[in-house]
Amino acid sequence: MKIDCTIDGKTLTLSLNSDKPLSLILRENMGEEGSVNHCSGAMCGLCAVLVDGKAMLSCMVPAFEIRGKTVVTFESFRRTRGMRDIEKAYESVGAYPCPDCYASRTIIFESLIDEAITDKEQILRELAMVRCPCMDPEDEIMIVQRGIELRRKRNVRRSQLP
């Protein structure tokens, strides 16, 4: 099956099995060995990517679901202004994910901040995709809240420019 999608800013037409998980597509076609894990079924949560801005575990996304969608991996996301907002939120709260889950948690934080999710239970439910116990839930909530504040301030400043 042919699938058209955009991955990290590159428009692609891929010929592949429609059930193939996105994590394997990324590893085989995009050279993302370093940032995309493949555990074959939501076992660790270390393969989070943004699909049309929503955080998803790439090992759970079959190829047919990315047809016409935009996929952003951590490798691409880390060069954005959004990443700087999250780094400032980490610094402000004084809490950071461990090196193992840093990429996936950061992607999930971006999805929550971009959607301005403030419901604490929803924040914790989304972040529960990552199985690593390295972060305190209250710190996670504060990081999202601070990230939303920073994003709003940046957007207000940008809208005030001539």
Q: Both 50 and 102 in a single domain?
A: no
pLDDT at position 2 is: 93
**Contact (Cβ atoms closer than 8 angstroms) between residue 74 and residue 103:** yes
- Would you state the structure tokens that stand for residue 134, as one six-digit string? 């390295």
Per-residue pLDDT tens for 137-147? 999 999 999 99
Which range, of 43-47, 71-75, 100-104, 132-136, averages the lowest pLDDT? Answer: 43-47
Report pTM: 0.91
Nearest to 129 by CA among 149, 159, 109, 144: 109
Do 17 and 87 sit in the same domain of this protein?
A: no
Q: How many domains does the chain have?
A: 2
Q: Distance between the two ends of the chain, CA-based, in angstroms?
A: 48
Query: Is residue 35 pLDDT above 60, yes or no?
Result: no
Show Cβ contacts of residue 46 under 8 Å, excluding neighbours closer than 6 positions. Answer: 37, 39, 100, 101, 103, 104, 130, 132
95 and 154 inside one domain: yes
* 106: containing domain: 81-159
Judge if 69 and 85 occupy the same domain.
no
DSSP bridge pairs for 49: 56
Q: Computed over its alpha carbons, how large is the radius of gyration of the chain?
A: 16
Question: Could you tell me the pLDDT band of residue 33, with boundaries at 50, 70 and 90?
Answer: very low
- Among residues 23, 55, 73, the one where a domain terminates is 73
